[in-house]
Amino acid sequence: QVQLVESGGGLVQPGGSLRLSCAASGIIFRLYAMAWYRQAPGKQRELVAAIISGGNTNYADSVKGRFTISRDNAKNTVYLQMDSLKPEDTAVYYCNAPMPPRDYWGQGTQVTVSS
């Protein structure tokens, strides 16, 4: 059974940093792309960043240059380093493992950027 467990969310001031982690189990982690999504109140869930098995990455324009996605295949974990956080980054952040025809999701972790 595939499980994704996020951690690392919290309250941070504008300009601050947080690192999210997502620990995966039940999959051969190194073979799969992984992604981070977020959903703010009243808005649709949106892709934040993705990393393929080979390590190539892509980012939403709104986070380019501020967020970094990485993975540690030995630990079955994907990370999202978030720097220079802005109030508009406030959202629930979800880890995603796309494995067609199924999509697997974590439970989400709240990130709040506020002074």
* pLDDT tens-place string over residues 18-29: 999 999 998 888
Answer yes or no: is pLDDT of 110 > 90.
Answer: yes
Give start and end residues of each alpha helix (H) in 1-115: none
User: Which of the four pLDDT bands, split at 50, 70 and 90, describes residue 92?
Assistant: very high
Residue 78 CA to residue 67 CA, distance in Å, equals 13
Answer yes or no: is pLDDT of 99 > 90.
Answer: no
Residue 24 CA to residue 95 CA, distance in Å, equals 9
